[in-house]
Amino acid sequence: MKRRKRDGPVVARENDMFEITLSADDRSTLLSFVDQLSEILAMGPDDARLRRLFPTAYHENPEHDAEYQGYMRDELTQSRAASIVVVKEVLESTELITAAQLHAFMTVLNNLRLVLGTLLDVGEDDFEDDIDENDPSFGQWQLYGYLGWLLEWTISALSGEDN
pLDDT over 90 at 69, yes or no: no
pLDDT of residue 73: 86
pLDDT over 50 at 1, yes or no: no
Q: Does any domain span residue 4?
A: no
CA distances from 86 to 5, 18, 91, 109 (A): 29, 14, 9, 12
Q: Does any domain span residue 125?
A: yes
Starting at the edge strand found earlier in the chain, the sheet holding 97-98 runs: 10-13, 17-20, 97-98
Q: Does any domain span residue 52?
A: yes
Top-confidence residue, 113 or 72: 113
- CA 9 to CA 25: how far, in whole Å? 13
Q: 162: pLDDT confidence band, cut at 50, 70 and 90?
A: low
Top-confidence residue, 126 or 159: 159
Q: Does any domain span residue 37?
A: yes
Taking CB atoms within 8 Å and a gap of at least 24, the contacts of 65-74 are 69/45, 73/45
Q: Does any domain span residue 50?
A: yes
Digit-coded pLDDT (tens) for 13-60: 999 999 999 999 999 999 999 999 999 999 887 788 998 998 889 999
Beta carbons of 119 and 49 less than 8 angstroms apart: yes
Q: Does any domain span residue 101?
A: yes
Digit-coded pLDDT (tens) for 108-156: 999 999 999 999 998 877 665 677 888 898 999 999 999 999 999 999 9
Q: Does any domain span residue 2?
A: no
Q: Where in the sequence is the domain holding 142, given as residue range(s)?
A: 10-159
Q: Does any domain span residue 42?
A: yes
Number of domains the chain contains: 1
Q: 3: pLDDT confidence band, cut at 50, 70 and 90?
A: very low
